[in-house]
Structure 1
Amino acid sequence: MGFLSFLSGNKNEKIKELQSKGAIIIDVRTKGEYSQGAIAGSKNIPLQEISSKINTIKKLNKPVITCCASGMRSANAASILKAQGIEAVNGGGWSSLSKKL
């Protein structure tokens, strides 16, 4: 448990750091899921569309915090963004992330 809380602590610090840099929150759930509730001000780009939106995301010139329902899809999205040179962190599930913001 200590190791996991260590990882969680680092993620929370990274989220706060990116927030201070004006990060945008990208929710990678489907449009239907997003319409059921989301973080105010977040952008909905479903995971299946992330790769095709890389240039648009790069033009925003801001770090990204990804979220989804549980953290699995947002982890995948954060990896895709990082591989394209975008500063990104997986924020996990949108509901729990909203409590950290």
Structure 2
Amino acid sequence: MDRALEFMGNHPFLFGILAVLAVLFFTIENKRSGKKISPNTLGMMVNSQNAQLIDIRPKKKFETGFIQGSRNIPFTELTNRLEEIRAIEAPIIIVCDMGVQAGAAVQLIGKDNVYRLDGGIGGWQAAGMPLVGAKDVQSAKKTKPSLHK
């Protein structure tokens, strides 16, 4: 510990640069990733504030399973639909696979009331929350009990 303090005393310029870089890294990283909300908070925001869910995964992934009430605007189409998204008055929750790409989408949209789902669809499922989609409809038809015997 004494050697570290001695190093800082002998090289204040290097230590200052290191401290500034560390602060900048965490500041930029925090801003880039956007405000996170948990799966439980998502449900409360949808019910109490009519939050809008936008799933930015590609259409094929979206069709395999999505959070009920969400609409699909793939990340590749996001820049073309920014005005439409910015016009939404209610809070907006961006959903992706793991929550990383949603951070970039939050930054791109640039509104105060835009959030990203922490952990994305993976975090949603890990919390035991259900997905709806084409596979669920097909499996429900297959397992539906027959009324006629």
TM-score over 0.5 for the pair: yes
- Write the distance in 1 (CA, Å) between the matches of 2:124 and 2:82: 23
Unaligned runs of 5+ in 1: 1-9
- Write the distance in 2 (CA, Å) between the matches of 1:45 and 1:37: 14
Q: Is the 8 A contact 1:15 1:89 kept in 2?
A: no
Q: How many residues align?
A: 90
Distance change (3 Å), C-alpha of 1:34 and 1:16: closer
Aligned equivalent of 1:93, options 94, 115, 120: 120
**Is 1:73 aligned to 2:95, yes or no?**
no
Tell me how far 1:44 sits from its aligned partner.
0.4
Q: Is the 8 A contact 1:27 1:94 kept in 2?
A: no
- Write the distance in 1 (CA, Å) between the matches of 2:53 and 2:128: 13
Tell me how far 1:38 sits from its aligned partner.
0.5
Tell me how far 1:29 sits from its aligned partner.
0.3
Aligned equivalent of 1:29, options 57, 70, 74: 57
Tell me how far 1:97 sits from its aligned partner.
3.0
Secondary structure of the residue aligned to 2:54 is strand
Unaligned runs of 5+ in 2: 1-35, 130-149
The percent identity for this pair of structures is: 24
Match of 1:3 in 2: none
Q: Is the 8 A contact 1:14 1:89 kept in 2?
A: no
Q: If the length of structure 1 is used for normalisation, what is the TM-score?
A: 0.71
After TM superposition, the structure 1 stretch with the greater mean CA deviation from structure 2, 25-34 or 70-79, is 70-79
- Write the distance in 2 (CA, Å) between the matches of 1:74 and 1:48: 12
Cα RMSD, aligned residues only: 2.5
Bigger Rg, structure 1 or 2: 2
Secondary structure of the residue aligned to 1:70 is coil
Distance change (3 Å), C-alpha of 1:57 and 1:80: same
- Write the distance in 1 (CA, Å) between the matches of 2:112 and 2:56: 16
